[in-house]
């Protein structure tokens, strides 16, 4: 499309929704493949509801382009994940596929569009940049809570049928095992196929909620490449192939948030998992970035969980119920006394300054630990505990794993 065609397309979308009673606020993003606009929709109670309109730009004059196919595919999966708490929600009043025979903006505009809820605090990638520019490390406690949000999104993809009979947002849960069974039924092989910080949006707080009371909710977006993977593509994962793809993406997102992880380090390595009340000591092969795993400033349980989520083969990959438990266990057992930045007061201040009040020059932002300063005696105790942990890990590393734990049955 030339520039005039793009401008006409943008004008068509804008005019359609303003003529339907919505108020245009701004362009959020535009590019070669499509864009997003922000509108306000008047509600019956007199309030305004902010909505995002996502549209595609065709790449040819006649047939539906790949961009259209991606947007139609995204709509297909979002309809099936509607009411999942950690998946972006569509507005069914406005959204319809352009070629499905229904009335609606997609059909009338001759191209697919999606109308979605507005997440006002940007992406996880933007938050990572704010942390880097401020010189502050991402707190382990924040990483644990964010990882739990993303695992919940994986549960939604694995067991999406739980949302088919509800009409309001619901927290994603693992279904109970069938009578006579000890494990839940196998999950769907649905993979989002584009797990990265740019595709994770930050929402608001829910006071009193155990998962979103201290830190805001995250929601996964962009299902344009979503698909159910054929287990035959990698028999080593079997019916866990979708879970593997999604948990691998979760681990990459959190690793990148913590310390700019590489997607792939080039080869798998062996990592020793320490006893954590969910799994006993064991060795696994993992694709996790070695620089992340060996960063001793990151909580050891968190590093182990990142290694698990990028494990090689279904025998080592945690099922979704264990992935949830690992996150809940990590949140419950984070040692807030060893790092002031993990305290409630520090987390609340970071959330306020780097997320809610982020329209400042964060290049000049300085974080102040005054509210959470420890006494001299407490600081000595903290340093002693850190030194003890460091010596224990060095001793374990020097000793190396037992030979019989490196056989092929253990680390396929």
Q: Residue ranges per domain, the chain?
A: 3-117, 124-262+281-321+333-337+391-405
Residue closest to 195 by CA, chosen among 160, 161, 219:
219
In eight-state DSSP terms, residue 198 is G
Question: What pLDDT is attached to residue 126?
Answer: 94
Question: What pLDDT is attached to residue 368?
Answer: 37
Question: What pLDDT is attached to residue 314?
Answer: 83
Listing DSSP states for 34-50 in one string gives: EEEEEEEEE-TTS-EEE
Encode 316-347: b = buried (16+ Cβ within 10 Å), e = exposed: bbbbbbbbbbbbbbbbeebebeebbbbbeebb
Contacts of residue 30, Cβ cutoff 8 Å, sequence gap at least 6 = 10, 36
Q: What is the CATH number of domain 3-117?
A: 3.30.200.20
Question: What pLDDT is attached to residue 151?
Answer: 98
Q: Rounded distance, CA 301 to CA 278, Å? A: 11
Q: Are 184 and 325 in contact (CB under 8 A)?
A: no
How far, rounded to the nearest angstrom, does the alpha carbon of residue 339 sit from its chain's CA centroid?
25
Q: Are strands 113-117 and 190-191 parallel, antiparallel or unpaired?
A: unpaired
In eight-state DSSP terms, residue 236 is T
Helices (H), 20-177: 66-80, 105-109, 124-134, 140-158
Q: What is the CATH number of domain 124-262+281-321+333-337+391-405?
A: 1.10.510
Per-residue pLDDT of the chain (412 residues; tens, 9 = 90+): 567 777 888 898 999 899 989 999 999 987 777 899 999 999 989 999 999 999 888 655 544 458 888 998 999 999 999 999 999 999 878 765 555 545 566 666 777 889 999 998 999 999 999 999 888 999 999 999 999 999 999 999 999 999 988 888 999 999 999 999 989 999 999 999 999 999 999 999 999 999 999 999 999 999 999 999 999 998 889 999 999 999 999 999 999 999 876 655 556 788 988 866 777 788 999 988 888 899 998 999 999 999 999 998 888 899 999 999 999 999 998 876 667 889 999 999 999 999 999 754 333 333 333 333 444 554 555 556 556 666 766 776 676 544 433 333 333 3
Q: Are 222 and 114 in contact (CB under 8 A)?
A: no
Long-range contacts of 335-341 (CB under 8 A, 24+ apart): 335/299, 336/141, 337/378, 337/382, 338/382, 338/385, 338/386, 339/139, 339/140, 339/382, 340/369, 340/372, 340/373, 340/374, 341/136, 341/137, 341/139, 341/369, 341/372
Residue 273 β-bridge partners: 282
54 in helix, strand or coil? Answer: strand
Q: What's the pTM?
A: 0.84
């Amino acid at each position: 499309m030339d520039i005039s065609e793009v401008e006409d397309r943008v004008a068509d979308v804008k005019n359609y929704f303003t003529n339907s009673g919505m108020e245009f606020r701004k362009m959020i993003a535009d590019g070669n493949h499509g864009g997003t606009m922000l509108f306000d929709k008047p509600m019956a109670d007199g309030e305004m509801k902010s909505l995002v309109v996502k549209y595609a730009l065709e790449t040819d004059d006649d047939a539906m382009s790949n961009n259209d196919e991606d947007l139609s595919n995204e709509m297909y999966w979002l309809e099936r994940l509607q009411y999942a708490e950690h998946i972006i929600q569509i507005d069914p009043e406005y959204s319809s596929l352009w070629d499905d025979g229904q009335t609606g903006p997609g059909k009338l505009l001759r191209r697919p569009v999606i109308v979605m809820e507005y997440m006002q605090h940007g992406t996880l990638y933007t938050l990572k940049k704010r942390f880097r520019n401020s010189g502050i490390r991402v707190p382990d406690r924040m990483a644990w809570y964010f990882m739990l949000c993303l695992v919940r999104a994986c549960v939604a993809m694995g067991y999406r049928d739980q949302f088919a009979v509800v009409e309001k947002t619901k927290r994603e849960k693992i279904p109970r095992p069938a009578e006579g069974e000890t494990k839940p039924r196998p999950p769907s092989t649905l993979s989002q196929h584009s797990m990265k910080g740019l595709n994770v949006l930050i929402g608001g707080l829910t006071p009193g909620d155990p998962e979103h009371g201290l830190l805001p909710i995250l929601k996964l977006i962009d299902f344009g490449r979503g698909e159910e993977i054929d287990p035959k593509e990698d028999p080593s994962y079997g019916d866990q192939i979708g879970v593997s793809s999604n948990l691998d993406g979760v681990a990459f997102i959190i690793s990148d948030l913590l310390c700019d992880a590489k997607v792939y380090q080039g080869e798998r390595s062996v990592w020793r998992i320490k006893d954590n009340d969910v799994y006993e000591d064991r060795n696994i092969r993992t694709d996790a970035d070695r620089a992340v795993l060996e960063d001793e400033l990151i909580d050891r349980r968190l590093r182990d969980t990142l290694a698990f989520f990028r494990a090689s083969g279904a025998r080592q990959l945690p099922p979704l119920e264990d992935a949830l438990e690992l996150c809940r266990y990590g949140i419950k057992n984070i040692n807030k006394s060893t790092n002031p930045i993990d305290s409630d007061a520090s987390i609340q201040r970071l959330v306020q300054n780097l997320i809610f009040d982020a329209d400042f020059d964060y290049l000049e932002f300085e974080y102040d630990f005054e509210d959470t300063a420890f006494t001299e005696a407490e600081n000595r105790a903290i340093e002693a505990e850190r030194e003890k942990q460091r010596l224990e890990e060095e001793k374990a590393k020097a000793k190396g794993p037992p030979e019989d734990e490196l056989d092929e049955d253990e680390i396929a």
